[in-house]
Chains A and B, each alone.
Chain A
């Protein structure tokens, strides 16, 4: 389930990376670093928005989860990455792409 925040962050990062990539071929490491920076900026904007509207900010865990979601989707195996990283998962069966 993608949240609004995750969708917004993904768009920010895609837009930021897109403009950087067309000008110069960035290495994967550079692209990841840039994405991290764009995500941090997006999360800070989200916190500002939440404070301005008088609601509480996201917990560190919620922010980390959103950041990870975006990075996984762009650079790793997307929704499957969390299972690939989990040593207790022995096997992954993909039976279609509808819900991935």
Chain B
């Protein structure tokens, strides 16, 4: 069981896309469970064209008195081979569902053995309902656009982020809205913030659509290729026990022969 929390410090730099792309990589896909625990409401259902239920809201209603790993599994939907717990689109209901699930959610998720759990926490702040998930993670990936305004937000809250407990690393977002000149290179970001940058996720809307639609061209998309090298770096971040668990599939993770494996 490994828990990977993904969140942003400001705006929407593509956290949901990063979570979905990483969950789709060969290193994780077969055991991925993507939980959309964004208190601002979910995007996945509308983006993927699937209903909002079963999902986080139905899980909260069914598990309001007692939550179990089995109940989490029964409230999943599967898209492109990835199990998803999607959040309702509305912020009020997403927040209500997360509040109902609360601490029991972390416990139930931890019972899901042999799973790689990707938690899309949206923008993370001190009062957020998804904070417990961040604290329980093996690693927290902060997705950030490498531009001054966004990096300043991370820098400002640096002690808060590192105070969460789990190791915090950065994923640079190639999200549009910034010119090349405005973007800082990974080395400079890492040196300035004192946090490791494990990779950059390409800005590639066509890749997102291809990936969600399980189309063949997805494997050649910039998004999937950047997610693949990101997943290699991510595996290195996970605790030893998790890496041991994936030893059997190591060839699939790093082997060049399967570098373009089927989607």
**Which of A's residues lie within 8 Å of B, judged by CB?**
44, 47-48, 50-57, 60, 63
Contact = CB atoms under 8 A, between A and B. Distances in A.
B155 to A, nearest CB: 33
Contacts of A55: 96
Given A56-B99, A56-B100, A57-B100, A47 B64 contact: yes
A56 B61 CA distance: 11
Contacts of A53: 92-93, 96
A40 to B, nearest CB: 10
Q: How large is the interface on B (under 10, 10 to 19, 20 to 34, 35 or more residues)?
A: 10 to 19
Given A56-B99, A56-B100, A57-B100, A51 B62 contact: no
Contacts of A50: 96
Given A48-B57, A48-B58, A54 B64 contact: no
Interface of B: 57-58, 60-62, 64-65, 88, 90-93, 95-97, 99-100
A51 B62 CA distance: 11
A47 B96 CA distance: 10
B39 to A, nearest CB: 11
14 contacts: A44-B61, A44-B62, A47-B61, A51-B57, A51-B88, A51-B96, A52-B57, A53-B93, A53-B96, A54-B91, A54-B95, A55-B96, A57-B60, A60-B65
Nearest to A45: B61
Contacts of B57: 48, 51-52
Given A51-B57, A51-B97, A57 B92 contact: no
Contact of A54 (B61, B62, B90): B90
A54 B97 CA distance: 8
Given A47-B100, A51-B57, A53-B93, 16 more contacts: A47-B60, A47-B61, A47-B64, A48-B61, A50-B96, A51-B93, A51-B96, A51-B100, A52-B57, A53-B92, A54-B93, A55-B96, A56-B99, A57-B64, A57-B96, A60-B65
A54 B100 contact: no
A53 B65 CA distance: 19
A44 B60 CA distance: 10
Contacts of B65: 60, 63
Nearest to B58: A48
Contact of B92 (A48, A54, A60, A63): A54
Contacts of B95: 54
A13 to B, nearest CB: 19
A50 B88 CA distance: 13
Contacts of A56: 96, 99-100
B92 to A, nearest CB: 3
Contacts of B100: 47, 51, 56-57
A67 to B, nearest CB: 12
